[in-house]
Amino acid sequence: MNTVLWIVQLIMAGVFIFTGAGKMLAYDKLKQVAEARSKGKPIGMSRGLAAQVGLLEIIGAIGLILPMDLFPPHLIVLSAAACLGLLMILGSIYHIRRQDSAVPNVVLFLMALLVIVGRWPHSPVSGPMQ
């Protein structure tokens, strides 16, 4: 299960670094593509907001693959996955309001949920009470 979780985390990190960098560094291209897909509807996201979302995605991606635990086990990974999952819920709402497909957001949310459930600390099973 650990290998599957690492694969999911690496895929998510790659996607979020790529999309986050696109939002931060190529806003004009992002705006053109989004408006072309939605038949000329304005993107509804300022350059500043796109940069903030992109920065959050990159920080979350780094948190997913950070190898060290400075706090209780997997706290950074759990926090990063939870924040990215919340970001995907908000992204789904944004895309549904624009009448775009929210499927990528839903898939990434489910992947974040898998990481949260898989990395959640398990307490050792104790025997019967004596």
Contact 64, 12 (CB under 8 A): yes
Those residues whose C-beta lies under 8 Å from the C-beta of residue 24, and which sit 6 or more positions away, are: 50, 51, 54, 55, 58
Question: Can you give the residue ranges of every domain in the chain?
Answer: 2-119
pTM of the predicted structure, to 2 decimals: 0.85
DSSP 8-state assignment for residue 44: -
* pLDDT values of the chain reduced to their tens digit, one per residue, 130 residues: 889 999 999 999 999 999 999 999 999 998 888 888 877 788 888 999 999 999 999 999 999 998 766 667 788 899 999 999 999 999 999 999 888 889 999 999 999 999 999 988 876 665 555 5
